[in-house]
Structure 1
Amino acid sequence: MCYFEQTRWTCGYWKWGNFRQQCNKEYRTGETCGLKLVYDTTYQSGQCKLCDQIQKKYRRVHKMQTDIARWQREGNRVATIEKTEGDIQEISAQISEIMNQHNERQLKIT
């Protein structure tokens, strides 16, 4: 039950920070017992790195969708449209994976 700093963003995502205080269960200098307790929480305004990644991928998908719409109006771009649609599916899977990581971290400690 050693004490660590914690950083928390407005979206609910958090991460452990630096070691702050040793508990009385651990007698070796410089070692921790393995259990982490929050010494102090620093609240950050803005979004966490995962939310930033998700937003970037959403913007990229949106651009690809507008490109597909433009290419369909122009015609003669069937192969490009198919490739871009495949890329959209890959990016959507990446978004889902990142969102799952974000949600798991939010549920671990409230």
Structure 2
Amino acid sequence: MSVPKPKTKMCFYDNHRFACNDWKWGNFRQHCHAEYRTGETCGMKMVYQTLPVAEKCQMCQKIERKQRRYEKHRTDYSRWAAENPTKYRFSIEKAVEEMKVLAEEIKRLMSEKQARYMAVGNPRRA
């Protein structure tokens, strides 16, 4: 007597892998056997295929933009402080404030990215 194979309980989606190794779910590809209603999914996601993406994810692009701005303010600050700190006093103060704000934003974005990696549904864990 043959044993019937168990039916899968997940629906299948494309998985997009970015150059930074981050990922996102893509288009729906295949229903599982648990879901019979047209246009509905069971809620569980499995990778149908992984599609490489040449660029970095949006989060990494945001972080890099903020790091470039931070670096620009830092070099301006260094230049103004070396040339004539009294002449550029207000510019130096503004650069320091911007650097503080950007450092906090970079820290927040990086912690969000790290939290995403630690999420339960992360396909990188497999």
| TM-score, L = length of structure 1 | 0.89
For the aligned residue pairs, the C-alpha RMSD in angstroms reads 1.4
Ranges in structure 1 where 5+ consecutive residues have no aligned partner:
none
Instruction: Return the match for 2:61 from 52, 58, 77.
Output: 52
For residue 107 of structure 1, report the CA deviation from its aligned partner: 3.3
> How many correspondences in the alignment?
110
Q: Which has the higher helix share?
A: 1
In structure 2, how many angstroms separate the alpha carbons of the residues matched to 1:44 and 1:104? 22
**Does the 8 A contact of 1:13 with 1:105 survive in 2?**
no
Q: Higher strand proportion, which one?
A: 1
How far apart are 1:100 and its partner, in Å? 1.6
Q: Structure 1 residue runs of 4+, over 4 Å off?
A: none
**3-state SS in 2 of match to 1:28:** coil
* Higher RCO (C-alpha under 8 Å, 6+ residues apart): 1
The question of 1:89 aligning with 2:100 is answered: yes
User: Which runs of 5 or more structure 2 residues have no equivalent in the other structure?
Assistant: 1-9
Any idea what SS the aligned residue of 1:38 has? Answer: strand
Q: Which amino acid aligns with 2:50?
A: T
- The normalised TM-score by structure 2 is 0.79
Amino acid at match of 2:99: I
Q: Specify the code of the residue in structure 2 equivalent to 1:27.
A: Y
Q: Which residue matches 1:74?
A: 84
- Please give the secondary structure, in 1, of the residue aligned with 2:41: coil
Percent of pairs with identical residues? 39
Q: Deviations over 1:47-77 (max 9, x none)?
A: 2222221111111111111111222122322
Bigger Rg, which one: 2
CA distance in 1, matches of 2:17, 2:112: 15
* Cα separation, 1, equivalents of 2:52 and 2:114: 18
